[in-house]
Amino acid sequence: MVASYDVVILGAGSGGYACALRAAQLGLSVAMVEKDKIGGTCLHRGCIPTKALLHAAEVADAARNGSQLGVHVTVDKIDLAGIQDYAASVVNRIHSGLTGLVKAGDIAVVSGEGRLVSVDGKLAVRVADEDYVGDYLVLASGSFPRTLPGVEVDGDRVINSDHALKLGQLPSSAIVLGGGVIGVEFASAWRSLGVEVTVVEAMPHLVPTEDPAIGTALERAFRRRRIGIRTGVAVHSCQASGDAATVRLADGSELSDELVLMAVGRGPYTEGLGYAEAGVRLRRGFVDTDERLRASVPTTYALGDLVAGPQLAHRGFAHGIFVAEEIGHLTGRLSAAPLPVKDSDIPRVSYCDPEIATVGLSEEAARAAYGEVETLTYDLAGNGRSRILKTAGFVKLIRRSSGPVVGIHMIGSRVSELIGEAQLINGWEAHPSDVAPYVHPHPTQNEALGEAHLALAGKPLHSHG
Ligand code: FAD
């Protein structure tokens, strides 16, 4: 059987469902194929369950440290099943809300494994023996956890992030391979829940895609929390035996613990789906697109984690909306073409303790792009709310010499909540003197952002800027 739609989307994760919702709003008929659950990695195995785990971890730390504030509490038990039930309840509520939105949008959801095929010269998604032909096709099949050569993920002693969210019990000790965002978030949560953790990262610093000042500060904070750190050394191999797993590092040293978490990034899910056979050009496994997210075959787009760049849910949402509006424009439903999504404007947050929130260029990248830059680091020690929260950290600003702010890098408890303002400053190419007159409420951590701009505009208040 063949069914025809304006738009057929393969994958109902952050990117796919955002595209479906926006396309439906524009009056396009939409079919969305999903082999698992609407919401994809972010909702079921990523952002939401990990942030629920991290929130439980934060509560445990708050209780444990309560006596520092005169509130004496003891943590009797960490009930992992209870934490998982709490996370599942959050996920289920969001899933049911999302399913309702998709239903209200009159989007045809096709359950099953889809594959790209050619039907009478047109591309279609085949599910079992049905073909869904679209005037436009959107590839949104997402990504999977990568592994390393020499490491076999057995789901028992050596696990990935999917397994880590379903553990029957917490290990007493764990090695996290990979100090990127997923690695540092699990390391942070597990440490708060009582696990002895060591993070191994091949690059010189944790969170290596961030400005090195952030990595250095995170390492200092993690060491204070007694999280072991091995940076600048690659993994040679990993062997599970009995009740332990042993990691051999490239420098010949060995680490042995109860569990190993592979957190070395995620690969695009493009193999075995008929993409290459249909003529869709891949580069290093990712779908090769232009800045308008067009794949190499006509009327076919790719988005989200399938497209090389930061693998983040909000980038997927933005891609999905962009592609829907592009199709809306091409079919005469929208008069103006949408603006492409710029990776450099996408904010990045790691929800470890301390949190990291950044947008724009690192100092090194800004120097490479613009030559002369000015930087200012505002220490959270000068911020009242951060003192109350007992957090250390900073806001680092980078501006083009006498020009706009091109990078904002923050570390400290709860700085994720500051990223909204930071992203506007970066996106609107504001100068420090544009931000300085805005009065920030006291005592908030937002004041730190305001004061950093005051200082960079040459009128520091609670800093030595
Ligand atoms: P996905 O969400 O992976 O969706 C792809 C969908 O396609 C899936 O539902 C899959 O089942 C379906 N699919 C694949 N192949 C087929 C097929 N052949 N037929 C039918 N369906 C198919 N991002 C953030 O922004 N913030 C965070 O805090 C954050 N935390 C994360 C924590 C973890 C542990 C992980 C793993 C990821 C995290 N991410 C986070 C990243 C985020 O989850 C992804 O960037 C986002 O989900 C990508 O969306 P997507 O639509 O491209 O792909």
Ligand 1 pocket member 50 (CB < 6 A):
yes
- Res. 236 pLDDT band, cuts 50 70 90: very high
Distance of CA 203 from the midpoint of ligand 1 (Å): 25
Give the model's confidence band at 442: pLDDT under 50 very low, under 70 low, under 90 confident, else very high: very high
Q: Token pair of 391, please? A: 């957090």
Residue 120 — pLDDT band, cuts 50, 70, 90? confident
* 14 ligand 1 Cβ < 6 A: yes
Question: Which residue, 186, 192, 228, is CA-closest to 65?
Answer: 192
**pLDDT score at 122:** 87
* Predicted confidence (pLDDT) at residue 465 exceeds the cutoff of 60: no
The model's pLDDT over 6-19, given as tens digits with 9 standing for 90+, comes to: 999 999 999 999 99
* Domain residue limits, the chain: 2-144+268-330, 158-264, 354-456
354-456 belongs to CATH 3.40.50.1970: no
**pLDDT tens per residue across span 242-288:** 899 999 999 999 999 999 999 999 999 999 999 999 999 999 999 99
Range 2-144+268-330 classified under CATH 3.50.50.60:
yes
From 110, 115, 138, 141, the mutation candidate for ligand 1 (largest count of ligand atoms within 8 A of CB) is: 141
- Of the CA atoms within 13 Å of residue 25, those in its CB half-sphere come to 12
Q: What average pLDDT does this structure show over 103-125?
A: 95
pLDDT tens per residue, range 139-179: 999 999 999 988 999 999 999 999 999 999 999 999 999 99
Average of per-residue pLDDT across 84-97: 98
Q: Residue 411: its pLDDT value, please?
A: 98
Beta-strand pair 286-287/282-283:
antiparallel
Q: Which CATH number fits domain 158-264: 1.10.3090.10, 1.10.3720.10, 3.50.50.60, 3.40.190.10?
A: 3.50.50.60
Tens digits of residue pLDDT in 128-140: 999 999 999 999 9
Partners of 262 in the β-ladder: 177
**Helix orientation angle between 14-25 and 80-104, rounded to the nearest 10 degrees:** 30
Q: What is the pLDDT confidence band of residue 209, given thresholds at 50, 70 and 90?
A: very high
What was the pLDDT predicted at 119?
Answer: 87
Residue 349: count of CB within 10 angstroms of its CB:
21
Q: Which of 291, 324, 276 is nearest to 138 (CA)?
A: 324
Residue 1 pLDDT: 85
**pLDDT band (50, 70, 90) for residue 463:** confident
**464 has a pLDDT exceeding 80:** no
CA of residue 13 to ligand 1 center, whole Å: 5
The 3-state DSSP class for residue 72 equals coil
Q: Is the pLDDT of residue 203 over 80?
A: yes
pLDDT bin (cut points 50, 70, 90) of residue 204 is: very high
Task: Give the pLDDT of residue 242.
Answer: 87
C-alpha–C-alpha distance, residues 269 and 109, integer Å: 20
Is 314 considered catalytic here? no
Q: Do domains 2-144+268-330 and 158-264 have the same CATH topology?
A: yes
Average pLDDT over residues 297-315: 97
Q: What percent of the chain has pLDDT over 70?
A: 100
Residue of minimum CA distance from atom 53 in ligand 1: 142
DSSP SS3 for 227: coil
382 lines ligand 1 (CB under 6 A): no
In this predicted model, what pLDDT tens digit does every residue of 32-80 receive, in sequence order?
999 999 999 999 999 999 999 999 999 999 999 999 999 999 999 999 9
Ligand 1 centroid – CA 143 distance (Å): 6
